Amino acid sequence: MKVAILGTGLIGASIGLAARRWLGARVAGHDPDPGALEAATRRGAVEPMSSLEEAAAAADLAFVCAPVAAIPEVAAAALDAGARVVTDTGSVKREVVSLVEGGGGAGRFVGGHPMTGSERSGPAGAAAGLIDGAAWALTPTGRTDPQAAVAVEEAVRRMGAVPVRLSPERHDRLVGLVSHLPQVASTALMATAASSTDEAAMLLAAGGFRDLTRLAASSPELWVEILLANRDAVREAIEAYGDRLRLLGAMVEAGDGKSLSRAFLEAKEARLGLAARPQARLGVAILAVPIPDRPGALAEITAALADRRVNIEDLEIVHSAEGSRGTTHVTVGEGEAEAAIAALAEAGHEAAQLT
């Protein structure tokens, strides 16, 4: 099997690593930036090719990992160069898919979007593990060759991701809601607080505020491109969010504690339901472990798990709205939960399984 990676940044290089490891594929890569191609090659993610055409020629599957605006052109070139099936990794799908299909690419092109990423950027931060367990949206249309869709789906699944089939429109509406809206909400919250002329505002900002505004530190360039490419869905999501805020605001103004309690309880239950499925990954368990206030407490917790070779999938310190210290939520594989709890108990930490 030959896989082509067209664009060897963080996502492209990660797919290259996963394709080598899990598909046993020969992976040819190209990037218009020679530095990115060289770094991905050094990282072991691709075999470097001097042109897009050379990389795509006779590829069973080509991944277009370019910025959203460049995807239609790169996808068309890959199809022309002889790639049998082409997919992409862009954060928005309706415009991209319609441009590729309109440009003669209907049939062998399948829109895609792995719901993954990292604080790091560029091929140096690449890892096959970035894909493992991530939801991976695929957006074939009525014009897509069913065989092509199955081929991409199969490759995605074998690389450890969870394929989710959606229409391009549905994909864009959903990421508008669960990915683009949170970014806008975070940026708006930071801007609202920062616009206070009271210097004490930031002095009183505790853990909850920090959690909510963390995304506001994301790359403006990246996000402006995404938001503008998904204009309708983002506008719709912001409106729905604004309506919900107004509703809560009206309850506060009216002193309507009963409605407010109901709304807060419903949101609480929805959030607790979500915690059972972090990053859409199945088969994980979340353990809550209180953190004692002394040096080395976290080290004891993580070492106890490392000693048993339990992989920590995720770890977060959960703060209350006004709190600083907190409880650790440790995500481990479902099959390892029992061993993890036993290991923690032995080390003197009482863990409770949340899911």
Residues 112 to 141 in contact with its own copies, rule: CB under 8 A: 115-120, 125, 127-130, 132-135, 137
CA–centroid distance for 44 within its chain: 23
Lay out the sheet containing 86-88: strands in order across: 47-48, 26-30, 2-6, 61-64, 86-88, 109-114, 135-139, 162-165
Site residue total, its own copies (CB under 8 A) = 140
**Stretch of 22-30, 74-82, 216-224, 345-353 contacting its own copies, by CB under 8 A:** 216-224
Q: How far is the CB of 236 from its own copies (least distance, A)?
A: 10
- Helix, strand, or coil (residue 285): strand
Query: Which of positions 220-239 make contact with its own copies (CB under 8 A)?
Result: 220-221, 223-224, 227-228, 231, 234-235, 237-239
Residue 55: exposed, middle, or buried by beta-carbon count in 10 A (0-12, 13-18, 19+)? Answer: buried
Binding of residue 157 to its own copies (CB under 8 A): no
Q: Which is nearer to its own copies, 106 or 135 (CB)?
A: 135
In this complex, which beta carbon is closest to its own copies, that of residue 48 or of residue 133? 133
Taking CB under 8 A as the criterion, the residue among 170, 339, 353, 355 binding its own copies is: 170
146 vs 295 by CB, closer to its own copies: 295
- Count CA atoms within 13 Å of residue 274 on its CB side: 8
Q: Which of 32, 44, 122, 207 binds its own copies (CB under 8 A)?
A: 207
346 sits near its own copies (criterion: CB under 8 A) = no
Check residue 348 for interaction with its own copies (CB under 8 A).
no
Under a CB-based contact definition with an 8 Å cutoff, are residues 47 and 29 in contact? yes
3-state secondary structure (DSSP) of residue 329: strand
Residue 315 interacting with its own copies (CB under 8 A): yes
Give residues 22-81 in contact with its own copies (rule: CB under 8 A).
none
**Residue 330 CB partners (closer than 8 Å, separation 6+):** 286, 287, 289, 301, 305, 312, 314, 315, 340, 351
**Closest Cα partner for 193 from 180, 206, 182, 183?**
206
Query: Cα(110)–Cα(100) distance, rounded to whole angstroms?
Result: 10
Residue nearer to its own copies on the CB measure, 58 or 246:
246
From the list 58-66, 70-78, 102-110, 208-216, the region that binds its own copies by CB under 8 A is 208-216
Closest distance between its own copies and the C-beta of residue 247, in Å? 8
Q: Is 326 in the site for its own copies (CB under 8 A)?
A: yes
CB of 150 vs its own copies, minimal distance in Å: 19
194 contacts its own copies (rule: CB under 8 A) = yes
59: tokens are 């590829």
Residues in the chain: 355
Piece of 22-30, 79-87, 101-109, 290-298 that binds its own copies (CB under 8 A): 290-298
CA distances to 11, 115, 140, 156 from 159, rounded to whole Å, are 13, 14, 19, 5
Name the helix (H) or strand (E) containing 239. helix 231-254
Under the binding rule (CB under 8 A), the answer on residue 209 touching its own copies is: yes
Minimum gap (Å) between residue 53 Cβ and its own copies: 30
